[in-house]
Amino acid sequence: MGTLSSRSTSEIRELDKRKSAAIVVAAGSGSRYGKPKQFEFLTSDERLVDQAVRTASAASNYVVLVLPAETDWTGAQVDQIVWGGSTRLASVAAGLEVVPRGFEWILIHDAAHPLASQALFAALIERLSDSNEPADAVVPVLDAVDLVKRRRLDGTLLTIGRENLGAAQVPMAFRHSSLAKAHAAADRPDGIREDSELLEHFGYRVVGIPGEVGNIHIIDATSIQLARRLV
């Protein structure tokens, strides 16, 4: 899928930060981790959610933080705090409701991806702003390097391959108008897991850019230990 844009992060921010709002999702219950992992410390003085808020703030002019209900926020100042829902889509919808209409682009970030770089945010914004190849959403993708297999219910395996396959990452970038219309659709089906999939369902144009190997997804104690070594 190529490499990240060579355009500087500062240049992207000067041109496009004013058009961008960010929703940082940190509302998970931590069912896999055993407790809400977003409040685990990444460094001696910064939690996963703090890192995510800091990077999103550098890439946008408005930040909405989505937290578990009744959570006291003690981190950096954000523009809005809302309570999350029972699903990821519901949490994003809660954040989207309080984003002012004047922002053209929405960056959706996640405290479980604390190591996403400012360069990745910049590349997302650059691709979304490309008028020559318009898109409604941009997703970082790591190309599959190992053979992908599906595990059947009976325990046997089915080979899928690796050509044209990849793992989606966060943050993702969306046109505000497209994201809002998809969330408002009355015929939204059950089972959709995240926002790029929602836009795909309704026929919007979702494209990819290269992801980052270091942008790991924190799911357990092993991955958080790895993240701490990478900081």
Residue 211, pLDDT above cutoff 80: yes
2: in domain: no
Domain of 207, CATH number, reads 3.90.550.10
Confidence of residue 32 (pLDDT cuts 50, 70, 90): confident
4: in domain: no
Buried b (16+ CB within 10 A) or exposed e, 3-41: ebbeeebeebbeebbebbbbbbbbbbeeeebeebbbbbe
pLDDT value of position 28? 85
Percentage of the chain beyond pLDDT 70 is: 93
1: in domain: no
By C-alpha distance, which of 20, 23, 170, 29 is closest to 82? Answer: 23
Instruction: Give backbone dihedrals phi and psi of 160, rounded to 5 degrees, phi first.
Output: -100, -40
| Separation of alpha carbons 124 and 160, rounded Å | 28
Q: What is the mean pLDDT of residues 23-47?
A: 88
Domain count, the chain: 1
Residue 212 and residue 230 in contact, taking contact as beta carbons nearer than 8 Å: no
Residue with tokens 């407790």, as numbered in its chain: 35
By C-alpha distance, which of 41, 35, 66 is closest to 227? Answer: 41
Q: Which amino acid is located at 129 in the chain?
A: S
| Separation of alpha carbons 220 and 92, rounded Å | 23
185: in domain: yes
53: in domain: yes
97: in domain: yes
Residue 3, pLDDT above cutoff 80: no
| Separation of alpha carbons 191 and 181, rounded Å | 18
49: in domain: yes
Residue 13, pLDDT above cutoff 60: no
pLDDT value of position 4? 53
Q: What is the 3-state secondary structure (H, E, C) of 144-213?
A: CCCCEEEECCCCCEEEEECCCCEEECCCEEEEHHHHHHHHHCCCCCCCCCCHHHHHHHCCCCEEEEECCC
Strands (E), 42-146: 62-67, 80-83, 105-110, 137-143
3: in domain: no
Q: Domain limits at 33?
A: 9-230
State pLDDT tens for residues 79-129.
Answer: 999 999 999 999 999 999 999 999 999 999 999 999 999 999 999 999 999
pTM confidence score? 0.92
| Separation of alpha carbons 137 and 206, rounded Å | 5
Instruction: Give backbone dihedrals phi and psi of 203, rounded to 5 degrees, phi first.
Output: 85, 15
Residue 60, pLDDT above cutoff 80: yes
| Separation of alpha carbons 73 and 56, rounded Å | 16
Structure-model confidence comparison of residues 17 and 128, the more confident one: 128
